[in-house]
Amino acid sequence: MPHEAASNLNKPLSEDDFEILGQVFLDPLLKHRPLFWIGIYERLDQEAVRRVFRGPYPPCHTFSFGKGNVGFVAEAGIRKVIPDVTTDLQYSQCFIETQSEWVEPIRFDGASVGVIDIEEDKKNAFSDADEKDFKNLSEQIAPLLAWKEVSWTARLKILKKLFRLRERHKDFNWIGIYRRETNRNDSLLLSIFLGPPTDHFRIPISKGICGAAVREDRTLNIPNVQSDPRHIACSLSTQSELVVPIRNSENKVIAEIDIDSDKPDAFTPERVAEVEAAAIEISKILEFNL
């Protein structure tokens, strides 16, 4: 198995492998806000590399730091909005149709980890509502891009599993993975999530239901969060919560699945068993980083 893990880590990924990012993050936005072009770029050592996009096929796959607005924002980690690209000296043309551009930084825990590039085929195309949408999108993508300790192959497999769980259970209003930090024994760090952005990207193990699941080393099914003083509210609409530990081959908790529902007592024994089975599958993915 270790030999198989090494071969998978060295296998280059294609655009098709990253398609799940478009399904999870871009398509929901485009349902209510059509755009000429939108793409997600990952910030690497000295460049931004495109991972997924929606719109015409772009000739520009990477931007070195300092090149174009994507390269600038990836390096600086600050937003740039260009109402008319013909007036911007830093603009690097990928499409002749583009007339305005919004480049949103993706930041996590204070660090720049990527960029969302949005292009429109008319001038002055963006509004105040766009600012909220693009910022939310950035916050949703950020933990996944920041999870550098795990291969993209593993991250994408885990994302697919969470996506399928949420698709099967529409009342899973928020679902995510928190992992134990390798350099800190006292906290859990958000790694992937689907749902509204949360301020709780780091949770002390001493607090909350997420922390309690690690301390008690067991699944916690809370039918009414209002009656549990350990609950840390991420959303006022949350009624019930399920936290399932993810264990390694030595049976140590290395992460957990956290799910919130707007329905009281949402997690039946059958649903708990389904999520616990998913936790075992995710454990294997993390163990071998496949």
The verdict on residue 58 lying in a domain is: yes
Tell me which of 146, 164, 185 is where a domain ends.
146
Q: Reduce the DSSP state of residue 199 to 3 states and report it.
A: coil
Number of independent structural domains in the chain: 2
Question: For residue 184, is pLDDT > 90?
Answer: no
pLDDT tens track for 91-116: 999 999 999 999 999 999 999 999 99
Residues 6 or more apart in contact with residue 100 via CB below 8 angstroms: 82, 83, 84, 85, 119, 120, 122, 123, 124, 125, 126
Identify which of 253, 275, 289 has the alpha carbon closest to the alpha carbon of residue 179. Answer: 253
pLDDT band at 229 (very low <50, low <70, confident <90, very high): confident
Whole-structure pTM value: 0.92
Domain termination residue (choose one: 146, 170, 199)? 146
Instruction: Dump pLDDT digits (tens) for 29-43.
Output: 999 999 999 999 999
Q: For 238-267, write each residue's pLDDT tens digit.
A: 999 999 999 999 999 999 999 999 999 999
pLDDT in tens, 44-64: 999 999 999 999 999 989 999
The CATH number linked to 238 is 3.30.450.40
Expressed as residue numbers, the domain containing 232 is 152-288
Q: Mean pLDDT for the chain? A: 93
Q: How many other C-beta atoms lie within 10 A of the C-beta of residue 269? A: 8
- In this structure, are 165 and 141 located in the same domain? no
Coil vs helix vs strand at 240:
strand
What is the strand order of the sheet 253-261 is part of?
A: 202-204, 187-194, 172-180, 253-261, 240-247, 220-222
Residue recorded with tokens 């067991």? 218
Confidence check: pLDDT of 3 > 60: no
Contact predicate 280/254, CB 8 Å: no
| Residue 3 belongs to some domain of the structure | no
Same-domain status, 157 and 284: yes
**CB-based contacts of 37, cutoff 8 Å, min separation 6:** 53, 54, 55, 56, 58, 95, 98, 117, 118, 119, 120
**pLDDT at position 181:** 87
Share of the chain above pLDDT 70, in %: 96
Q: Using the predicted structure, report yes or no on whether residue 161 has a pLDDT greater than 80.
A: yes
Q: How far apart are CA 121 and CA 252, in angstroms?
A: 52
C-alpha dihedral over 45, 48, 51, 57, to 10 degrees?
Answer: -150
- The pLDDT of residue 9 is above 80: no
3-state class (DSSP) for residue 277 = helix
